[in-house]
Amino acid sequence: MKFSLLSLFISLLAISSLVGQTTAVVDNTPYKIVIQLTSADTAVQHGLIKQIHNALTAAPKSKIEVVCHSNGLFFLVTAKSDKADEIRKLKAQGVVFAACENSMRSHKVKREELLPEAITVPAGVIEIVKKQRKHWAYLKAG
């Protein structure tokens, strides 16, 4: 009886130490994700950075492109962006940050005003549509 109670106690102790622990499973599928950013809201931009980190942690072989147009363009403007360090680090991990040239003209932003990590595309909306036609998953930030 003592042996049975001791065995039960040890078993319960071992099981209770595992409760609450989760094991991260890495998905090696090379997902393709295009994310639309149209907001200058820093909370939305912070959420976007977090989503990208989460996606790359869960599926590190994923390709991600962030298309910034409308007021989302300011995410990539050197004088206005407070996420330059995060953008630089994500760019080093292969994330592409694309600025819409239509939005640049509309907001009178020149290429040299963009973060060096940014590329430009003629039209943000068309860039997103092109990616979707190539079977990229679409997400909207915010």
In a domain, 12, yes or no: no
In a domain, 18, yes or no: no
In a domain, 116, yes or no: yes
pTM: 0.83
* Pair of tokens at residue 67: 């298309």
Tracing tokens 């590190």 back to the chain, one arrives at 60
In a domain, 103, yes or no: yes
pLDDT tens, residue by residue, 6-29: 343 444 344 444 444 555 688 999
CATH number at residue 76: 3.40.1260.10
Q: What is the pLDDT of residue 24?
A: 66
In a domain, 9, yes or no: no
In a domain, 7, yes or no: no
Task: Give DSSP secondary structure letters for the chain.
Answer: -HHHHHHHHHHHHHHHHHTT-----------EEEEEE----HHHHHHHHHHHHHHHHH-TT-EEEEEE-GGGGGGGBTTT-S-HHHHHHHHHTT-EEEEEHHHHHHTT--GGGB-TTEEEES-HHHHHHHHHHTT-EEEE--
Q: State the average pLDDT for the chain.
A: 89
> CA-to-CA distance for 15 and 27, rounded, in angstroms?
27
Q: What is the pLDDT of residue 67?
A: 99
Tracing tokens 């595992």 back to the chain, one arrives at 18
Average of pLDDT values for 52-72?
A: 98
Query: Could you give the C-alpha distances from 106 to 17, 38, 73, 128, in angstroms and in order?
Result: 58, 14, 10, 19
In a domain, 87, yes or no: yes
Number of domains in the chain: 1
In a domain, 109, yes or no: yes
Residue range(s) defining the domain that contains residue 75: 23-140
